[in-house]
Structure 1
Amino acid sequence: MNIQVSSEILDGLVLSLLTHQDFYGYAITQKVQESIKISESTMYPVLRRLRNKKWLTTYDQPYQGRNRRYYKITEAGIDQLKIILEAWQSYQTNLNQVFEETQIPPINMQEDATHE
C-alpha cells in the first residue's frame, strides 16, 4: 500500500535535508527516495515551488564539464521548516494516539473456512 504524501510533507523533507548540506536536484531526489516512493519528475516542481517561495536559493557548480544546480535553504526556508515540524509533531501525535488505541480482534480461522 502506498500512502499519499502531501506537498507539505515533501516541502518538509526537502527543507530538512538542506539543513545538513546543499544538494543538487538528483541527489535530493535520491535522498527523499530513501524514505518514500517518489518519482524523479515529482521533485523538480517541488524544488521550483520552494525556490519561488524564497525558501531555497540556487547556485551552479561545474561538474565533469557541465553545471550542477545546487539548492540551499534560506532563513525563510528555516522558518517554514519550523512551522512544518511543529505541524508534523501534532499530526504524528494525533495519529499515533489512534493507532495505539486500536485493537484488532483475533481472526477465527475455522469460521473463515466455513464461509468459503
Structure 2
Amino acid sequence: MGNQMTEMLKGTLEGIVLAVLSARPAYGYEITARLRDQGFSDLVEGTVYALLIRVEQRGFVDVEKVPSEKGPPRKVYSLNSQGQEQLDGFWTTWRFLTERIEQLRIAQGEGEN
C-alpha cells in the first residue's frame, strides 16, 4: 500500500499543505511535523520544501523571514487570497472525486464491507 499512497499523495499534497496553512502560518519543518501527526508518517521533509518553493513561485503564499534561535532566519509561509482560491478549488475537486469514487465502490458491492 505504501507505493499507492505515495502516488496518490503526489496529486493531493499541494492542497493538503495549503489546508495546513489555512489554519495558521508555519515554516517547512512545522508543516511536515503537523502532517506526520495527522498520520502522513512516510512524508519526506524534502518533498514539503520542494512543494513550498512551487506554491511560493505560483503566488499562493506570502513568505516572511523570522529570526530563529538556531541558525539562519526561518521562512514562515502564510496562505494569501490567491492561495485560498486555489484551496477552495482543491476542495471542490476533492468532493467531486470522492463522491464518484464512493459511488464506484458501492456499485461494486464494496460498500457492504
Do they superpose with TM above 0.5? yes
| 54, 62, 68: which one aligns with 1:57 | 62
Matched, 1:45 2:53: no
Runs of 4+ in 1 over 4 A off after TM superposition: none
Q: CA deviation at 1:5?
A: 2.6
| Correspondence for 1:85 | 91
Cα shift readout 1:41-63 (whole Å, capped 9, x = no counterpart): 11111000000000011111112
SS at match of 2:96: helix
Larger fraction in helix: 2
TM-score, structure 1 as length reference: 0.80
In structure 1, distance between residues paired with 2:62 and 2:78: 5
AA matched with 1:46: L
* Aligned-residue identity in percent: 23
Q: Which moved more, 1:55-64 or 1:30-39?
A: 30-39
Structure 2, unpaired ranges of 5+: none
Q: Does 35-44 or 16-25 show the bigger shift? A: 35-44
> Which residue of structure 2 lines up, in the alignment, with residue 109 of structure 1?
none
* 1:68 aligned partner: 74
Most deviating of 28-37 and 82-91:
28-37
Equivalents in 1 of 2:50, 2:29: separation in Å? Answer: 13
Q: State the structure with more CA Rg.
A: 1
Aligned residue pairs total 104
Counterpart check, 1:94 vs 2:96: no
Structure 2 length-normalised TM: 0.82
